[in-house]
Structure 1
Amino acid sequence: MATTLAKAAEGTAAERTHAARIEHVSKSFSGPAGTQLVLDDVSLDVAPGEFVTILGASGCGKSTLLN
């Protein structure tokens, strides 16, 4: 699992093209029934001033993605 979160306050002005960035997030859980892949190579870029919501049913992976 690889996660990168870049904040606008970091880097030079030329590097500040994103307020937040999530890159190549994958997550799986192991259980009695085997391994279950719940997130597979998810990426998200948020531009400065952009308003983004992550919507979904309970248990669909919103908090897992952000954690």
Structure 2
Amino acid sequence: MTTMATTLAKAAQDTLDTTAHAARIEHVSKSFSGPAGTQLVLDDISLDVAPGEFVTLLGASGCGKSTLLNLVAGLDRPTAGSI
């Protein structure tokens, strides 16, 4: 039984690894430099969005929602990570 469970777990992981993504955000960080120094706005954000999936970003004012969307749209570049 252990071998069967291991085989199923590996097959599930292989499926996850080969699934197409509409968007993939991997370890993205973004900081801005200003007169008061560097401000870290996003820190190590990771997210996979499947084709046809509906995703909502919720958070308080100034938490980085618009910054993340600007990065996904290609209007800005992350300080670290990839999109």
TM over 0.5: yes
Higher relative contact order (CA 8 A, sep 6+): 2
For structure 2, the residue ranges without an aligned partner over 5 or more in a row are 1-17, 71-83
2:60 to 49, 57, 60: 57
Specify the alignment match of 1:6 in structure 2: none
Residues of 2 paired with 1:20 and 1:50: CA distance? 10
Specify the alignment match of 1:22 in structure 2: 25
RMSD in angstroms over aligned alpha carbons?
Answer: 2.0
Residues of 2 paired with 1:38 and 1:48: CA distance? 27
Between Structure 1 and Structure 2, which shows a larger proportion of helix residues?
A: 2
Q: Shift of the alpha carbon at 1:16? A: 5.2
The normalised TM-score by structure 2 is 0.54
Identity of aligned residues (%): 91
The normalised TM-score by structure 1 is 0.63
Runs of 4+ with >3 A deviation: none
1:33 to 15, 32, 36: 36
Residues of 1 paired with 2:37 and 2:23: CA distance? 33
Query: Considering only CA atoms, is the larger Rg found in Structure 1 or Structure 2?
Result: 2
Query: Tell me, what secondary structure is at the counterpart of 1:55?
Result: coil
For structure 1, the residue ranges without an aligned partner over 5 or more in a row are 1-14
